[in-house]
Structure 1
Amino acid sequence: MDTSDFDLITRHPRSIIHLDVDCFYAQVEMLRHPELEGKPLGVQQKNLVVTSNYIAREFGIKKCMSVQEALRLCPGLALVRGEDLTEYRRVSTKISEILHQFTSLVERLGMDESFVDVSCLVDKSASSSRRDSDCGMMNDSLSSESNSPIGKIFGPAEEECPCGCHERLSSASKIAAEMRNRIYKELRLTCSAGIAHNKLLAKLSGSLHKPNQQTVVFPCAASLLLSSIGSVSKIPGVGQKTAELLMSNNIATVDDLQRIPLENLELKIGTDLARKLKDNAEGIDETIVKPSGKPQSIGLEDGFKSVSLVAEVESRLGALLRRLTELATEDGRIPVAMKLTVRKHDFNKANSGKRETRQSALPQSLLPATKGGAYDHAKMLTLAMKLFHRVVDVSKPFHLSLLGVAFTKFEERSSGKSSITSFLRKQVAVQSVLDISSEEGISDVSLGSPMSVNQDSNDAVEHPQSTANSANTSLSSSNLASVAKTSQFTDDDDIPNEVEPSPKKTKLEVWLSGRRESPSNEMAGLRLGPSSPMSPMSPPPGTDAAVFKSLPIDLQREVSRSWPATNKPKPNNILKYFIANK
Structure 2
Amino acid sequence: MSSSTQPSSRGSSPPSGALPLRRSQFTYRNLSQMASYNTSCPLRVIAHIDLDCFYAQAEMVRLGVAEDQPLAVQQWQGLIAVNYPARAYGIGRMCTVTEAKKLCPNLITQHVATWREGEDKWAYRDDAAENIATDKVSLDPYRLESRRILATIKDHLPSHMQKVEKASIDEVFLDLSAHVHAVLLERFPEIARPPPSGDPSEPLPMPSVSALDWQADALVDLDDEHAEFDDPDWDDVAMLVASEIVRNVRAAIRDKLRYTCAAGIARNKLLSKLGSAHRKPNQQTVIRNRAVWHFLSGFKFTKFRNLGGKLGEQVSQIFNTESVEELLVVPIEQLKLKLGDDTGVWVHNTLRGIDMSEVSPRTQIKSMLSAKSFRPSINTVDQATRWLRIFVADIFARLVEEGVLENRRRPKTINLHHRHGVQTQGQTRSRSSPIPQGRSLDEETLFGLANTLLNQIIQDGHVWPCSNLSLSVGGFEDGISGNMGIASFLLRGEEAQALTDGPRTRAESKLKEQSQPPEKRRRIDDGGIQRFLTRKETPSPLDPIDALAEDNGAETSRVRETKLDSDAPSLPDEGPVLQANDETAIGGHLCARCGACLESSESLQSHQDWHFAKDLQEEEHGRLGFGNQASTTAASPHSGGRRSGPAAPKRPGRPKKTERGQQKLSFG
Q: TM-score, normalised by structure 2?
A: 0.42
Which gives a bigger RCO, structure 1 or 2 (Cα 8 Å, sep 6+)?
Answer: 1
- Structure with bigger gyration radius: 2
